[in-house]
Amino acid sequence: MGWSPEQIAGRLARTDVSMRISHESIYRFIYHRVAQKDYLHRLLPNRKNRRGRLMRGGVSPLRSFKRRVSIDDRPPEVSDRRNKGHWEADLMCFTKRNEAVLVVHERTSRILLAARQTTKAAPVVADAIGRLIAPLPAELRRTMTFDNGTEFAQHYRLTDELGVETFFCDTHSPWQKGGVENAILRLRRALPRKSDLGAISARQLASIVANYNATPDDASTSKHLPRFSGKTSTRCTSTVRPPPDRSRDDAVRRRAVSAQAIIRSAAGSPEESRQRNKQPWPAVRSAVASVT
């Protein structure tokens, strides 16, 4: 393996001025001879038969965002999740190009709203967010937090039209809107990345969202489902297997039945689910407003 073209060009510039040549010229010659089956690329450090794309300098898309406000300037009351009306938004993308689901997540109640997207264009995404949260009262749509994707470049329309303050995470810091990130992760169980959104009807998508909203998440499990309070020991204290504890099995069975009853009551009857799908906004409004 020989020197790299940069090393050759640098050494020639220092030893023989008349032999000065650009390393780009050396690269072009090598890859031109590849077509002639000379295989000179095998002498390069990486032994590649073609060059990768050159990095092109340009203006960061963040500079083109109008009225962008950092998450550092967001009111402290948003972080403690005690006040209603603070949302996070993101796009749930799939394998096929331009297939996505817009996901909007309320930080306090953890209510999820979603809409199918056929494009990532900023005007279309801004319109979709507006349609999702516009039916809610003003006190339930105070702030919205995004990442730095260009699909949210027209965020200021939410402020002008609905009075929603918008904030952006730091670059490469999606964990700063962890609520919607976790929601998307849970939705992936029903909608994997390889899913074909064209084969999923609007009713099916609404059912997936309704099931998500009716299922307690990890953060609220302790409020809805009973948990074991006893401590277990990993140290073996006897070589004789103790008799089975029937009372513990009965307690586990009672807890399971109680948990199922709670989940069924949260989901409602089939008729209530159908009515909720037909008129989603009153159900969402009452669910969000019930959180104190």
Evaluate if residue 83 carries a pLDDT over 50. yes
Give the mean model confidence (pLDDT) for residues 95-107.
Answer: 93
Contact 120, 98 (CB under 8 A): yes
Residue 103 domain-assigned (yes or no): yes
Please indicate, yes or no, whether residues 76 and 37 belong to a single structural domain of this protein: no
Give the pLDDT of residue 48: 63
pLDDT higher for 47 or 150? 150
Please indicate, yes or no, whether residues 35 and 83 belong to a single structural domain of this protein: no
Q: What are the DSSP calls for the chain, one per residue?
A: ----HHHHHHHHHHH-GGG---HHHHHHHHHHHHTTT--GGGGSSS--SSPPPPP-----GGGG-TT--BGGGS-GGGTTT-SS-EEEEEEEE-SSTT-EEEEEEETTT--EEEEEES---HHHHHHHHHHHHTTS-GGG--EEEE-S-GGGTTTHHHHHHH--EEEEPPTT-GGGGHHHHHHHHHHTTTS-TT--GGGS-HHHHHHHHHHHHHS--GGGHHHHS---------S---SSPPPP-HHHHHHHHHHHHHHHHHHHHHH--HHHHHHHHHSHHHHHHHHHHT--
Residue 252 domain-assigned (yes or no): no
Residue 286 domain-assigned (yes or no): no
Residue 28 domain-assigned (yes or no): yes
Range of the domain at 19: 5-43
pLDDT higher for 262 or 157? 157
Give the mean model confidence (pLDDT) for residues 65-91.
Answer: 93
Residue 182 domain-assigned (yes or no): yes
Residue 241 domain-assigned (yes or no): no
Residue 92 domain-assigned (yes or no): yes
Please indicate, yes or no, whether residues 134 and 13 belong to a single structural domain of this protein: no
Please indicate, yes or no, whether residues 109 and 179 belong to a single structural domain of this protein: yes
Note the pLDDT tens digit of each residue in 31-72: 766 666 666 666 676 656 555 555 555 556 666 788 999 999
Domain edge (last residue) among 154, 187, 205: 205
Please indicate, yes or no, whether residues 125 and 157 belong to a single structural domain of this protein: yes
Give the pLDDT of residue 201: 93
Domain edge (last residue) among 158, 174, 205: 205
Please indicate, yes or no, whether residues 181 and 91 belong to a single structural domain of this protein: yes
Evaluate if residue 220 carries a pLDDT over 70. no
Note the pLDDT tens digit of each residue in 22-31: 878 877 777 7
Evaluate if residue 284 carries a pLDDT over 70. no
Count up the domains in the chain and report the number: 2
Give the mean model confidence (pLDDT) for residues 210-221.
Answer: 74
The CATH code of the domain that includes 138 is 3.30.420.10
Please indicate, yes or no, whether residues 121 and 177 belong to a single structural domain of this protein: yes
Please indicate, yes or no, whether residues 129 and 197 belong to a single structural domain of this protein: yes
Please indicate, yes or no, whether residues 18 and 82 belong to a single structural domain of this protein: no
Give the mean model confidence (pLDDT) for residues 97-113.
Answer: 94
Residue 213 domain-assigned (yes or no): no
